[in-house]
A and B are shown apart, each in its own frame.
Chain A
Amino acid sequence: MADTLKERPVYRNIHVSQIVAYRLPPAGIVSILHRVSGAMMFLLLPFVIWLFDNSLTSEISFDRFTSAFSAGIGFVPGWFVKLVCLGLIWAYLHHFIAGVRHLWMDMTHSVTKAQGHSSAIITLALSLLLTVALGARLFGLF
């Protein structure tokens, strides 16, 4: 009994070193990015609340909020603050759209391979498109 237990092979999920070589279908990419974007927003939550706090508390703090994007915060330059915000914008949009996709699948039971594929592509395209549009606004391109 002990021998058979010892010899039993262990099949793990893919190893970290295999991630790059592992080709995911679009639905898989949406799924892992859903998780990555959620983790990003979780870790950056204090930064978001700092922005929320300064944008609301007073006119003086509102100036601090706006200058964070030009003069920066402390030793962190403004362009980097913008870059982090761009990351957050993408994370929010992807998480939002991928979440709506989940709810839609739950409600309509539309879980065929073809529907999963097309809705995943729509999710990726829409979130990236909106990120580019809002990013252009953030970096002052229009």
Chain B
Amino acid sequence: MSSMYGSRRLVVGAHYGSRDWLSQRVTAVLMALFTLALVVQLLLPGEMGYYKWAGIFAAQWMKVLTFVVIVALALHAWVGVRDIWMDYVKPAGIRLLLQVFSIVWLVGCAGWAVQVIWRL
């Protein structure tokens, strides 16, 4: 395989999107598994309310899993939203602005969500 860096790097050709394609699918599987793990815990016996809900996220393994899913969600949404901008927004300046906005939006949201799980 050609080098990805340096003066002899591959500058044309296919496979530029395969990393994004793969990361979008891997992150999707992670989020799907997280959804199942959460639904199973919600369906376990016990009165539905604050203590059950907070108890689910009190476990350290659940915090770590949630953290991984937050990062996965940000990456997944970045690939998807960037595709939307690339498909519909042609002027480079506006596209750059929207892409920067998307990154700021996602990183901000991810930071807030991480704060929620580790403040408990």
Contacts and interface: CB of A to CB of B under 8 A. Distances in A.
User: Could you say which interface size class chain B belongs to?
Assistant: 20 to 34
Interface in B69-83: 77, 80-81
Nearest to B73: A45
A47 B28 CA distance: 21
Q: Is the interface of B mostly helix, strand, loop or mixed?
A: helix
Interface in A71-98: 96
Q: What's the dominant secondary structure at chain A's contact region?
A: helix
B75 to A, nearest CB: 13
Interface of A: 35, 38-39, 41-42, 45-46, 49, 52-53, 55-57, 59, 62, 96, 99-100, 102-103, 106
Interface of B: 25, 28-29, 32, 35, 49-50, 53-54, 57, 77, 80-81, 84, 102, 105-106, 109, 112-113, 116-117, 119-120
